[in-house]
């Protein structure tokens, strides 16, 4: 009698346990839905930001015309140029076509945001952005540009097929893990390069004593962060190293470990975004963090929209995803090891494979601020109508007027302002683009003047233009209360030779 009563109880317990296990089998359809829309917003920011700058940067009357670059390559390289420099601009490199790529990219991003033909749209977005990056020269050579290309290419394989797929079927596990692997490499490399560089400010946890005021475009919150006690700066560096060097390995853990990693990564990105304008980088990294979640980790109101018509076919191994992994995994592993400073004798086919895929900038190495700058040289550009009285050109976002508070501009990237920061790290001779910039100002190029806050000569053509080097630093609290200045500047001398009417255009 006791046995006959116990048997149904054991069966009932077995069924409850197995039903529960079936219910918590992770799905990623909603996560993918959110990720693709976050990626659409990043693409929209990137293309829309470029739309208003592209003519001044690489247009016919811009600083580094794309048409000149392509003509130079065409004269020196045969048909292989189409592989070595893949871009739709080989069809046409006019200002109109550059604007078409930017505007078309923004329109495609809007289609992706509304879930229209995601695979085809993502492929076009990647193609358009690659086309701009490969003719953008110094102005589109940032790590977030290639991170967007790599993320965008992986997203082509991650996205659901069809014209309006909604949340679609369960994604392939291979494409999901390739995106997670990208996030792991991004974060881990960022920590490894700091240690591998041997920079004492990172090793002694003093990097934030300098970072807030030496970074390219700080926000006004960075000024306040710089006033904090030194121990808080050291603690923040230690916390950053924990997030960049230890937390990435949680990606290989269970769902709870990945949730912890996602929260830590997004928290770090939020703190970075509060004190510095890093364009769409923080938003893109946060979007990648979504891939660490599964649908069960999302709010109930969001899960409620998940239909039950998606077959759980994500454990399959599509041949296209396998082929992608065969390329991405070994090349990216080689780059990750390189970031650590280790020297490894790789089999010869691997460097060759890297060389083959390199022009497409879609399997990359990462690592920002390997060496912390401990001083801030600022270039002030001045023009003169008579060669004696000089007036400064005010940039929109980079430091200039000491009384102007640093602002928030991200996710827009004022690329000229950014490049001026990099130019100040080296000599004028190492930045020939800057001489071109000065020449365009002297001739009064409207697209180039449009990159600045205002034309001090109101349309008149200056007789001469020059670049002067200053040393800049945040003021302290007492100085700011007394003078209202956020920055203090000290003139160091001439940065570039004067560009005047007697000199030919470089």
Dihedral of the alpha carbons of 111, 450, 404, 214, in degrees to the nearest 10: 70
Question: Within a domain: residue 11?
Answer: no
Q: Does residue 194 surpass a pLDDT of 90?
A: yes
Dihedral of the alpha carbons of 20, 26, 30, 33, in degrees to the nearest 10: -170
- Cα torsion angle, 107, 112, 113, 114, sign: positive
SS3 192: helix
Question: Within a domain: residue 237?
Answer: yes
The reported pLDDT for the residue numbered 25 is 78
The reported pLDDT for the residue numbered 24 is 58
Q: Does residue 339 surpass a pLDDT of 70?
A: yes
**Same structural domain for residues 240 and 264?**
yes
The reported pLDDT for the residue numbered 300 is 87
Residue 373: band (very low, low, confident or very high) from pLDDT cuts 50, 70, 90: very high
What does the alpha-carbon distance between residue 64 and residue 68 come to, in Å, rounded to a whole number? Answer: 8
- Chain centroid to CA 150: how far? 11
Q: What is the pLDDT averaged over residues 265-272? A: 97
Which one, of 502, 430, 441, lies nearest residue 466 by Cα?
441
Which tens digit of pLDDT belongs to each residue from 102-132?
A: 999 999 999 999 999 999 999 999 999 999 9
Question: Within a domain: residue 449?
Answer: yes
What does the alpha-carbon distance between residue 130 and residue 153 come to, in Å, rounded to a whole number? Answer: 10
**Same structural domain for residues 117 and 243?**
no
Residue 323: band (very low, low, confident or very high) from pLDDT cuts 50, 70, 90: very high
Question: What is the percentage of the chain residues whose pLDDT exceeds 70?
Answer: 92
**Same structural domain for residues 209 and 283?**
yes
**Same structural domain for residues 180 and 277?**
yes
**Same structural domain for residues 137 and 251?**
no
State both tokens at 301: 């109101």
- Point out the domain boundary residue: 86, 119, 141: 141
String of DSSP letters for 3-40: HHHHHHHHHHHHHHHHHHHHHT----HHHHHHHHHHHH
**Same structural domain for residues 215 and 331?**
yes
**Same structural domain for residues 32 and 92?**
yes
Which tens digit of pLDDT belongs to each residue from 388-435?
A: 899 999 999 999 999 999 999 999 999 999 999 999 999 999 999 999
What does the alpha-carbon distance between residue 291 and residue 28 come to, in Å, rounded to a whole number? Answer: 8
Q: Does residue 1 surpass a pLDDT of 80?
A: no
Q: Does residue 4 surpass a pLDDT of 70?
A: no
Q: Does residue 326 surpass a pLDDT of 80?
A: yes
Residue 311: band (very low, low, confident or very high) from pLDDT cuts 50, 70, 90: low
Question: Within a domain: residue 352?
Answer: yes
SS3 464: strand
SS3 467: strand
Residue 343: band (very low, low, confident or very high) from pLDDT cuts 50, 70, 90: confident
What does the alpha-carbon distance between residue 37 and residue 167 come to, in Å, rounded to a whole number? Answer: 11
Question: Within a domain: residue 110?
Answer: yes
The single residue listed with the structure tokens 């030496």 is 214
Q: Which residue has the higher pLDDT, 481 or 23?
A: 481
Question: Within a domain: residue 307?
Answer: no
Q: What is the pLDDT averaged over residues 460-468? A: 94
What does the alpha-carbon distance between residue 210 and residue 474 come to, in Å, rounded to a whole number? Answer: 10
Please state whether the peptide bond connecting residue 411 to the residue before it is cis, i.e. omega within 30 degrees of 0.
Answer: yes
Strands 391-392 and 376-384: antiparallel
Task: Please list the residues that pair with 218 across neighbouring strands.
Answer: 276
Question: Within a domain: residue 160?
Answer: no
Question: Within a domain: residue 451?
Answer: yes
Q: How many CB atoms lie within 10 A of CB 244?
A: 23
Helix then strand then coil, in percent of the chain rounded to 5, is 60, 10, 35
Question: What is the percentage of the chain residues whose pLDDT exceeds 90?
Answer: 84
**Same structural domain for residues 64 and 192?**
no
Q: What is the pLDDT averaged over residues 365-371? A: 91
The reported pLDDT for the residue numbered 366 is 94
Which tens digit of pLDDT belongs to each residue from 28-54?
A: 999 999 999 999 999 999 999 999 999
The reported pLDDT for the residue numbered 497 is 86
- Chain centroid to CA 414: how far? 13
What residue numbers bound the domain in which 100 lies? 26-141
Q: Secondary structure of 337-393 in the HEC alphabet? A: HHHCCCCCCCCCHHHHHHHHHHHHCCCCCCCCCCCCCCCEEEEEEEEECCCCCCEEC
Rg of the chain's alpha carbons, rounded to an integer? Answer: 26
**Same structural domain for residues 344 and 216?**
yes
Residue 325: band (very low, low, confident or very high) from pLDDT cuts 50, 70, 90: very high
Q: What's the total number of domains in the chain?
A: 3
Per-residue DSSP letter, 88:
G
**Same structural domain for residues 442 and 469?**
yes
- Point out the domain boundary residue: 141, 164, 185: 141
Dihedral of the alpha carbons of 40, 45, 46, 49, in degrees to the nearest 10: 150
SS3 309: coil
**Same structural domain for residues 186 and 49?**
no
- The CA-based angle 446-399-461, given to 5 degrees, is 25
Q: What is the mean pLDDT of the chain?
A: 91
230: left (phi over 0), alpha (psi -120 to 50) or beta: alpha
**Same structural domain for residues 274 and 386?**
no
The single residue listed with the structure tokens 């970075």 is 272
Which tens digit of pLDDT belongs to each residue from 63-81?
A: 999 999 999 999 999 999 9
- Cα torsion angle, 22, 27, 29, 30, sign: positive
């Amino acid at each position: 009698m006791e046995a006959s009563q116990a048997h149904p109880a054991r069966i009932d317990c077995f069924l409850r346990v197995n039903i529960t296990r079936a219910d918590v089998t992770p799905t990623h359809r909603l996560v993918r839905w959110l990720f693709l829309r976050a990626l659409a917003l990043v693409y929209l920011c990137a293309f829309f930001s470029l739309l208003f700058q592209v003519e001044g940067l690489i247009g016919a009357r811009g600083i580094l015309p794309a048409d000149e670059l392509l003509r130079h390559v065409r004269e020196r390289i045969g048909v292989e140029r189409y592989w070595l420099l893949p871009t739709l601009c080989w069809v046409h490199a006019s200002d109109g076509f550059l604007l078409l790529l930017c505007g078309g990219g923004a329109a495609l991003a809007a289609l992706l945001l509304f879930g229209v033909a995601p695979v085809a749209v993502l492929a076009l977005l990647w193609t358009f952005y690659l086309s701009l990056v490969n003719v953008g020269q110094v102005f589109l050579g940032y790590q977030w540009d290639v991170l967007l290309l790599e993320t965008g290419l992986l997203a082509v394989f991650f996205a659901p097929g069809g014209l309006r797929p909604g949340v679609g079927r369960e994604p392939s596990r291979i494409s999901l893990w390739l995106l997670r692997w990208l996030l792991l490499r991004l974060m881990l490399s960022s920590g490894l390069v700091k240690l591998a560089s041997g920079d004492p400010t990172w090793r002694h946890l003093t990097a934030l004593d300098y970072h807030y005021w030496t970074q390219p475009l700080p926000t006004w919150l960075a000024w306040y962060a710089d006033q904090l006690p030194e121990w808080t700066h050291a603690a923040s560096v230690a916390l950053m190293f924990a997030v960049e060097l230890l937390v990435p390995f949680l990606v290989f853990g269970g769902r709870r470990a990945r949730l912890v990693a996602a929260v830590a990564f997004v928290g770090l990105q939020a703190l970075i975004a509060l004190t510095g304008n890093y364009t769409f980088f923080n938003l893109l990294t946060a979007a990648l963090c979504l891939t660490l979640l599964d649908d069960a980790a999302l709010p109930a109101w969001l899960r409620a929209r998940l239909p039950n018509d998606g077959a759980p076919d994500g454990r399959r191994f599509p041949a296209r995803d396998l082929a992608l992994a065969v390329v991405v995994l070994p090349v990216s592993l080689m780059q990750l090891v390189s970031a650590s400073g280790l020297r490894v004798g790789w089999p010869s086919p691997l460097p060759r494979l890297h060389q083959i895929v390199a022009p497409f900038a879609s399997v990359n190495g990462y690592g920002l601020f390997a060496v912390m700058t401990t001083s801030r040289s600022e270039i002030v550009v001045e023009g003169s109508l008579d060669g004696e009285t000089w007036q400064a050109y005010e940039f929109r976002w980079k430091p200039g007027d000491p009384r102007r508070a640093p602002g928030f501009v991200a996710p827009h990237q004022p690329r000229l302002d950014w490049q001026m920061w990099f130019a100040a790290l080296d000599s004028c001779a190492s930045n020939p683009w800057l001489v071109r910039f000065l020449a365009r100002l002297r001739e009064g190029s409207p697209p180039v003047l449009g990159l600045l806050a205002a034309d001090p000569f109101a349309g008149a053509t200056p007789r001469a233009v020059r670049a002067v080097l200053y040393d800049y630093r945040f003021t302290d609290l007492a100085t700011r209360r007394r003078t209202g200045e956020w920055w203090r500047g000290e003139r160091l001398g001439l940065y570039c030779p004067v560009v005047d009417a007697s000199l030919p255009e470089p």
